[in-house]
Structure 1
Amino acid sequence: MKGKFHTKHGFTMIEVMVVIVILGVLSAIGVPKIIGYTEKTKEKADLMKLYYLRDALNKAIIINGEALYNSSYLSSGDESTNQKNRDKLKGFLENESGVTLFVIEMKGGASMNVQASHGSANNTANMCELIGDAGTWYDALKEARFEGVADIVAYRKKTNNNTGIKNDVEKNGKSHSTFTVKEDGSNWRTYPNTPMFISSELNYGKAAGLDKITSQGNNKTNYRLTMSFQWTGAKESSHSIEVALLPNGAKMYNKSNGRGGAFLTDRGVCFSTYGDRGCADYKY
């Protein structure tokens, strides 16, 4: 009877190494694409919040043409002061840079920092006082799910500066119901307990390229964006509002060419309700 021979099949070390190399190459190509796609999806979700904010304001305007002036800031002073602030708001809404409601500081490796105002963040057009604790601007932020921003702005106005925050923390602690106060060297960061955005770039800033930032002078470690508003086309006759995240010194809408300089992510998402033209003049 003839014997039967069975050949055992397996992988040689060289074959295993080849497979590992191939998998490594595929991972190097595929994983970044998957991560990039996920981040871009998150950025688009973040962008939608600007549209929600715009729509909340526009709904208010439809109901009441004077809705944007519904703020305690524009009614709590004497008539002369109120009128001066109303005129100021009117001018900013028709300005190419719009009006600033609050500031977001971006710093690589650190959490977002929400501020009421800052000297290098479109400060001449800042009217954060409009938010208050009631009125159109407050309601719009709440409807668009920007929880905690109004409380941060009020806190920042009350404490005034880093020394003021330090003194308040020593007296009252860091705990707040809607936002967090966190020490950052000799500075302090304040951000909502419910995150405003979910994408990495709008929570921790750009991973690289800060050396290209030009609109904040010699500062190459962080940058600030302002939540800015403007009549569509910078014309009150439009009876509608646009929203954008603006770098310092940028225009929301250039009347000469219809372009803007709003924040553009590394993945090409434009944070302006004007659409892509709203970021056509982005400088970073």
Structure 2
Amino acid sequence: MSIAIVTGTSSGIGLHTAVGLARAGFDVIATVRDVARADALREAADAAQVHLDIRALDVTDAAGAQALVEGAGAVDVLVNNAGRGAVGTLEQLTDDDLQAQLDTNYLSVARLTRLVLPGMRARRRGRIVTVTSVGGAVGQPFADAYCGAKFAVEGLMQSLAPVVAPFGIEVAIVEPAAVASSFVESVDRSDAGPYAEQLQAYLDRTAAAFAAAQLPEDAARTVVEAATTAEPRFRWQTSDAAVRFVGLSLADLDGSRVLGATSQWVRGTSGA
């Protein structure tokens, strides 16, 4: 049976991706930071009548990541899903804030990917799917650290893809827009100081977006498709909203379309 590792599976996209891959016939290693908080994952697996190998992993723990991969066997699919958000503009962000975003959203992804590559290369097959965000293509107000890390991981994966392709390894990124999940609850926030009015305008706009958010099980279907399709491609979006939003940047040669749109999110305040 083919082996898949999925990180960040305690809720949301990761949970439904793990279950979806198990339904597709994979032996799924589903990682969570704390196995004591994996009840929703266990319940979802039971409801779907599939088995998941649930293991503890803090993706920022290098030794833990190495032990996980070494004990996993021949990994055919890696889904880098674990992530953490942050709200704050650069003037209020500390070096520690920036590093925390890089550690979770970029460096941990690079590390796990590097660990599975030798085995995939030797077997001349494998697929690496990284869940990024529309924030990996479009920089957004007060998401400076988050978008910076997501931009970085998209650049990493786009650079890696053509190098490993001759060895039978496919690389893909999946870009969700707003998804109804506990991700928002885990977002780190900083004191906005002189930018408080602009931040409130941004948060109001964001709340409206999440009120109409995509269901995580719908987004997970795209991740599963990216991991299993016979016609792989590099970039995937999980919804029409994500397609439209990412399109702002991918066709924006001089940057004016993105800045024109995102400036509206914080306009009409004393700081604008």
Q: Which interval holds the TM-score relative to the shorter structure?
A: under 0.3
Larger Rg: 1
TM-score normalised according to structure 1 size: 0.25
TM-score normalised according to structure 2 size: 0.26
